[in-house]
Amino acid sequence: MTVPSVTLNDGNTIPQLGYGVFKVPPADTERAVAEALEVGYRHIDTAAIYGNEEGVGAAIAASGIARDELFITTKLWNDRHDGDEPDAAIAESLAKLGLEQVDLYLVHWPTPAQDNYLHAWEKLIELRGAGLTRSIGVSNHLVPHLEKIVSATGVVPAVNQIELHPAHQQRDITDWAAAHDVKIESWGPLGQGKYDLFGAAPVAAAAEAHGKTPAQAVLRWHLQKGFIVFPKSVRRERLEENLDVFDFELTADEIAAIDAMEPGDGTGRVSAHPDEVN
Ligand code: NAD
């Protein structure tokens, strides 16, 4: 099993499938990440706010895997956009992770009411220049936020990590990203288990046709659309299942049927609207 790599707009590469650790309790994180590394994951997505960077770091250190075989992402939290706070925040994250550099550092939310995401982006450009992160990107940025940071700095984020699953596809953002060579990372790729995604007819039919599980069919949909994904689970069998998605391909019709699952009234979002997180 080989996870394909995606080349970012800065020339760096990222494994298209990884392991996300949102809501993995700090006390379980070292074990869960160690298991993920054992079953073959090489890309881990964490964040300062998840409170589990130390567990991620402990698992990396114990794994003996060469640093350049791993891709580690963490994120700047919302209350640390101002002044030199981003410098302190990344230093703390690196210390917890036991790393000298992360592979990708993201502005976690634009927090538009604070109106300081442009400053945060300018700081990330500096942090990349200082070698503390190889790539920089954003998360939960809507098109106006993206337009603002790119027109002010001329630096296009490598990725935008957004809520994305069949009921919430954010086509305005994915279209903008395609036009500007920004890769999309789908968070909540399985809808966070908050609606009956696996029982939906297009997903169930695709899974059955290929002898795979509904979760595998949905992950395949993300991958074939070019999105980067890092589903979360703390169960070894699901870690294995979610990685075992490179031996089949959905047909164009199966993809179109899943595309058509998004409700037209925009009610498919399962988490917060970025304008309301401040
Ligand atoms: P997800 O869609 O990955 O759903 C996780 C849930 O799906 C878990 O509760 C798990 O029980 C279930 N699940 C996992 N594999 C399964 C399988 N094979 N079969 C059946 N059920 C399965 O949601 P998520 O964890 O929110 O998103 C993935 C990652 O995205 C996070 O861990 C985190 O790294 C990132 N994320 C980022 C943001 C952000 O604001 N940037 C927000 C949320 C999540």
Q: Is the CB of 191 under 6 A from ligand 1?
A: yes
The SS3 of residue 105 is: strand
User: Domain residues of the chain, as ranges?
Assistant: 11-192
Q: Over the stretch 48-60, which tens digit does the pLDDT of each residue have?
A: 999 999 999 999 9
Q: Assess whether pLDDT exceeds 90 at residue 6.
A: yes
Q: Is the CB of 21 under 6 A from ligand 1?
A: yes
128's enclosing H/E stretch is helix 117-129
Catalytic residue among 19, 41, 50, 105: 50
DSSP secondary structure string, 26-95? HHHHHHHHHHHHHHT--EEE--GGGT-HHHHHHHHHHH---GGG-EEEEEE-GGG-STTHHHHHHHHHHH
Query: Which pLDDT score, from 0 to 100, does residue 2 have?
Result: 87
Q: Assess whether pLDDT exceeds 80 at residue 1.
A: no
Two tokens, residue 116: 């300081």
How many percent of the chain have pLDDT more than 70?
A: 100
The SS3 of residue 145 is: helix
Q: Over the stretch 135-151, which tens digit does the pLDDT of each residue have?
A: 999 999 999 999 999 99
Report how far residue 233's alpha carbon sits from residue 237's, in angstroms, rounded to the nearest whole number: 9
Entry pTM:
0.98
The interaxial angle of helices 214-224 and 201-210, nearest 10 deg, is 100
Rounded mean pLDDT of the chain?
A: 98
The SS3 of residue 141 is: coil
Q: Assess whether pLDDT exceeds 90 at residue 266.
A: no
Closest-CA residue, ligand 1 atom 24, reads 188
DSSP secondary structure string, 154-188? -PPPSEEEEE-BTTB--HHHHHHHHHTT-EEEEES
Instruction: Quickly count: other Cβ atoms within 10 Å of residue 155's Cβ.
Output: 16
Q: Is-catalytic flag, 117?
A: no
For 11-192, the fitting CATH number among 3.30.300.170, 3.40.50.720, 3.40.50.1370, 3.20.20.100 is 3.20.20.100
